[in-house]
Structure 1
Amino acid sequence: MIKISEFQVKDVVNVSNGRKLGHIADLEINLGTGKIEAIVIPGAGRMMGFMRKENDIIIPWRDIVKIGKDVILVRFEDHAENQLSPQGFHNSSKS
């Protein structure tokens, strides 16, 4: 078993590009089944759980590839990262 507090200190990393997405801030739990449906990673500009919830990253439980000692590997496609700018360059404003 694992505690929520242990979840929150692990880095969440996207296996498709190796990018660190952040740390888990919240969980979505199905009250009927008691199962975790998704993990929530705060979006850019969100501090201490406040502001800008629309930028949160929601990872469905089925997209978690592996939970390791220090890291959680997930499968996540960042659509904003894949969009082209009007000049034809990839949007690289995210780090």
Structure 2
Amino acid sequence: MTFRELSKKEVVQVDEGQCLGKIDDLVIDDKSARVEKLLMLGRPKLFGLLGRGESLVIDWDEIQKIGANAILVNTPLPEENAQEVKKPGLLGRLLGQG
């Protein structure tokens, strides 16, 4: 299987059934030439002008199955910033919600 074929598959977290996206890069051991990790870059913030969110690294051992259309993984989901308090948007302020 080529990287191009692998990168077209959706990555699905098995426990929650959540689609995590697609593979962006691989980490390969230079001595054994084996794939060690799959890398999924974080989502761009403001079209990439403010950088990216946190990247997800999936160890090869966490892959449960590589199918025709998806890669099933047993990796923990990335934690959302629960402590971060979101300010209401313009509509919320106009409606008096903030």
Measure how far apart 1:79 and its partner are: 5.0
1:58-77 pair list within 5 angstroms: 58-77=57-76
Give the TM-score normalised by the residue count of structure 1.
Answer: 0.74
| Matched residue, 1:19 | 18
Q: Helix, strand or coil for the counterpart of 1:80?
A: coil
Shift, 1:80, TM fit:
1.1
- Partner of residue 4, structure 2: 5
Matched-pair identity in %: 31
1:35-58 CA-to-partner distances (Å, cap 9, x unmatched) read 10000112122779xx43x61110
Q: What amino acid is aligned across from residue 21 of structure 2 in structure 1? A: G
Instruction: Please tell me whether Structure 1 or Structure 2 has the larger radius of gyration of its CA atoms.
Output: 2
Q: Distance in 1 between matches of 2:54 and 2:78?
A: 12
- Which amino acid counterpart does residue 57 of structure 2 have in structure 1? I
Which one-letter code corresponds to 1:21 in the other structure? L
TM-score by length of 2: 0.72
Runs of 4+ in 1 over 3 A off after TM superposition: 83-86
